[in-house]
Amino acid sequence: MVSVETGLQASAIGIVTNFGLAIIKIVVGIVGNSYALIADGIESTADIVSSFIVWSGLRIASRPPDATHPYGHGKAESLAGMIVAVALLGAATLIAWQSINEIANPHGAPAWFTLVTLVLVIVTKEILFRFVNKTGQSLDSTSLKSDAWHHRSDALTSAAAFVGISVALIGGKGYESADEWAALFACLIIAFNGLRLLKPALSEVMDAAVEAETQARIRAVAGAVPGVAAIEKCRVRKSGLGLCMDIHVEVDGRITVSEGHEIGHRVKDALMASELRIADVVVHVEPNPPTTK
């Protein structure tokens, strides 16, 4: 099972990579007369901030409960995911504004070597997206998955710039703004992903119920514990990288309190030992009417 440390490493790699790419894009953009590449480089500096937010969120979320936060610090991870999703929307808005501004103020065609830089950026960012997204899926980390799509959004804007610059170079005079039009199209994709990632992060902050499939698996694990007659209630929410839940199990009403208490402990142990990344379980034991013969 992937650990939190792996998630922190993935986020740290993103910070270092974004820093290097931001410098390369801005320098090459200035030398190669590519305003789209310069804007892309500036947007990469926002990626550095978002990756740092994810890294910080994961570190805070992994802290154990304490006197001031008895339920743990898991919400920090969801909040980081919300911030990154909003940052995606902000990046889409910024790039769109910059593109419209460049369309209104025509400039000379970029240099051919800017295309080489863009290919390097696209390949690097796509690899980074796949790595961070895979880690985020393994940890079920909303913030890491959002950060991964931030990397892909950078790859998309770079791909749009590549297409636009290619059209500008091939088409010649009159096609100088082709890269800005391509960037505008990429903004729609980035904004869509920002909204798509904002919804689950907001749901987690609002303690929304987890999907029915997860609840069914939890009920199956608890129901398989010897002594459990039925599962009455099961309330589950995601907190950080784990799940917190209240579960009501029914046992034979004729057994002693101590026996019922022991069954409750076995239910908790079974759930905590499962592969469901459960962080905390509160088990409530209720009597089940004895079977009538």
Place of tokens 């990288």: 241
pLDDT in tens, 236-246: 998 877 889 99
Q: Are residues 151 and 261 in the same domain?
A: no
Higher-confidence residue of 8 and 251: namely 251
Instruction: Note whether residue 293 is domain-resident.
Output: no
Give 131's contacts (C-beta < 8 A, 6+ positions apart).
10, 13
Domain boundary among 164, 186, 205: 205
Domain containing 283 equals: 212-288
Local structure of 234: helix, strand or coil: strand
What is the domain-level CATH number for residue 88?
1.20.1510.10
Considering the chain, what is the average pLDDT of its residues?
A: 84
Q: Are residues 176 and 234 in the same domain?
A: no
- Let me know how long the chain is: 293
Q: Are residues 121 and 66 in the same domain?
A: yes
pLDDT in tens, 128-168: 999 999 988 888 888 888 888 878 877 887 887 788 778 87
Per-residue pLDDT band at 293 (split at 50, 70, 90):
very low
Per-residue pLDDT band at 108 (split at 50, 70, 90):
low
Structural domain tally of the chain? Answer: 2
pLDDT, residue 197, reads 77
According to DSSP, the β-strands at 242-252 and 278-288 are parallel
Q: Is the pTM of this model over 0.85?
A: no
* CA atoms of 149 and 131, how far apart (whole Å): 11
